[in-house]
Chain A
């Protein structure tokens, strides 16, 4: 692998400052790596010209002593973020040729701070999936393989392209969106760090909407420190998103290396699910040992409504999706398939434009919101959501600073292996992550080890609202103990 692509964001920042290399060289090294890695299908659009122009501008600012916090750092952007003048499709046929005339707030914040756009990364169509297999642009192939095998594996989803790109050194960092686990699960599958911030921490403006009360943007990075650096730029109040919170953005990087002595870490007993593999159980135990050794106090806690989070999610998320996706009508943007009248135009456009998983969720959402069923499904699910959130609040009120859980129930699986016959099989991937979205809390997935077949596994830390700094401090302890994980290059 090329040297410059093995840097961390923090390392590249130092190297640029000391003029060891230029932003243009850094961008070129990544563009060359991306070109050689097309077999992974991590990028759905490469933007080499824009990258070169942005890197050149970054070099000019560095020369003037005017560098921003992310000056010259090459990043990948999930195709859910609208990028001005750069095609944005949410990896759906219905948005094939959509070129936004505006920039999402989060990506705009990154450019404001000097970052460089390498391209747009693949995701499950409209971020609906846990394996990146529902993308209209085809699946992403994980850079990881089982020991001694060449079976193509999924990188997880929905942000599979971003996760694969960061893991395979095709970007120093990438953005993701997380509605039920779409940052944390692919981060765990590819051996990198993924953070879903507190709901409202990052603006949703300009992000293709899936389930608005759950969606949140966050970073993918190879180290915990890099995650802290990226989040500081991404986060912040935005008057264009009424759910974005007007709370000052702290210097998250200052939390790296802070002592965790005396922190009370909850171990939720309901996460010890039936049929949990010995490897996941072992990893979780290992995580407890590491945190304890660093001075944290472990406390068994109970989150009694955990098992209801996933079913409640599969009412709330499709309901909101069916409303959000009503905008794709073949009239204002995107695909248009003619029909005999206006309804025919809508129905044909949407039948052709949406893939199977998206159509299924729109239909479920439409059903649970339809007259006569609203109370039984949607209203009940929102009440259950209140109870899920209360479970966490009760623990935090008893002095718990954060919780430690596994990030996923297993390591990555093969392409085509799951969910073919039964959609629920795929949904179960998010069993440990979805509660966090339902409660609006921050969660981070930190790589913690390899399974018997040599595939990465992650641990999840769940924080109090706006407790991202605590998660970075704890995450660093796990990283220090577990080390970093890099796939062996085969592409």
Chain B
């Protein structure tokens, strides 16, 4: 499988990364090189093989469903580039 310029733009948008027009062709080449490399997986017989979901056989530990953390808005907001009171600031989303 290989990707065309339209697909490169679509992937970039899905990934929320701006890509300039003059970068598309180069990215297309690189992505296709990697897709060609991984293409060899198609020769593996995976009939009846379970996909891996956990590399270590273990049952996920569960904890009581209680609040264990929180109430520290200052720490949560400390690294935010734009805040007001206890909120993150973003451009207007809803008209």
Contact = CB atoms under 8 A, between A and B. Distances in A.
Interface of A: 97-99, 101-102, 198-200, 213, 239, 242-243, 245-246, 305, 307-308, 311-312, 314-315, 322, 326, 329-336, 338-348, 350-351, 354, 359-360, 362-367, 370, 373, 376-377, 379-387, 389, 422-424, 427, 438-440, 465
Given A351-B18, A364-B34, A239 B63 contact: yes
Interface residues of B, number: 50
Given A198-B56, A312-B41, A424-B34, 13 more contacts: A305-B44, A322-B15, A326-B16, A333-B79, A336-B81, A340-B91, A341-B92, A343-B16, A347-B12, A383-B46, A385-B51, A385-B55, A386-B51
A377 B42 CA distance: 9
B17 A363 contact: yes
Nearest to B75: A101
Contacts of B50: 383, 386
A350 B16 CA distance: 7
B85 interface: no
Nearest to B38: A311
Contacts, number: 166
6 contacts: A239-B61, A311-B41, A339-B91, A360-B34, A379-B51, A381-B41
**Smallest CB-CB A-B distances: 4 pairs:** A440-B55, A382-B51, A333-B79, A336-B81
A327 to B, nearest CB: 11
The secondary structure that dominates the A interface is helix
Contact of A383 (B34, B40, B51, B60): B51
Contact of B41 (A243, A373, A384, A386): A384
B52 interface: yes
A242 B61 contact: yes
A342 B91 contact: yes
Contacts of B18: 344, 347-348, 350-351
A218 to B, nearest CB: 16
Interface string B3-33: 1000110011111111100000001001101
Given A311-B38, A336-B81, A362-B15, A465 B51 contact: no
B52 to A, nearest CB: 4
